[in-house]
Amino acid sequence: MKISDAVERFNQYLLAEKGLSPQTVQDYMDDLKQFFLIFGDMKNDTDDLLGSDLTDFFIKQSADGRKTTTIMRRLSSTRHFYLFLQREGLFNGQFPTIEVPKKSALLPRCLSVEQVEDLLEQPNMEKPSGVRDRAMLEVMYASGLRVSELINLTRGQVNFEKGILTINGKGGKMRQVPIGDFALEYLAKYINEDRNQNPGKKDKHIFLNLRGKPITRQYFFMSIREYALRAGIETDVSPHTLRHSFATHLLENGAELRAVQEMLGHSDIATTQIYTHVSTRRIVSAYDLYTKRK
Q: Is 243 an annotated catalytic residue?
A: yes
Q: Is 266 a catalytic residue?
A: yes
pTM for the model stands at: 0.59
Q: Indicate whether 85 pLDDT > 50.
A: yes
Catalytic residue among 134, 146, 244, 249: 146
Question: Which of the following is catalytic: 109, 170, 175, 225?
Answer: 170
Catalytic residue among 132, 134, 195, 243: 243
What CATH topology corresponds to 113-293? hpI Integrase; Chain A (1.10.443)
The CA-CA-CA angle for residues 4, 94, 1, to 5°, reads 20
Lowest mean pLDDT of 34-43, 142-151, 195-204, 270-279, name the range.
270-279
> In sequence order, which residues have a C-beta less than 8 Å from that of residue 33 and are 6 or more positions away?
none
Greater confidence, 57 or 97? 57
Look up 294 and say whether it is catalytic. no
Domain edges within the chain? 3-87, 113-293
Tell me, yes or no, if 240 is annotated catalytic: yes
Q: Are 100 and 67 in contact (CB under 8 A)?
A: no
What whole-number distance in Å separates Cα of residue 239 and Cα of residue 241? Answer: 5
| Amino acid present at 275 | Y
The answer to which of 1-10, 36-45, 216-225 has the lowest mean pLDDT is 36-45
Distance in angstroms (rounded) separating the CA atoms of residues 279 and 36: 42
What was the pLDDT predicted at 216?
92
Q: According to the model, what pLDDT value does residue 267 have?
A: 67
E strand or H helix at 151 = helix 147-151
* CATH architecture of residue range(s) 3-87: Orthogonal Bundle (1.10)
Measured between alpha carbons, how far is 4 from 259 in angstroms, rounded to an integer? 43
Q: Which residue has the higher pLDDT, 23 or 6?
A: 6
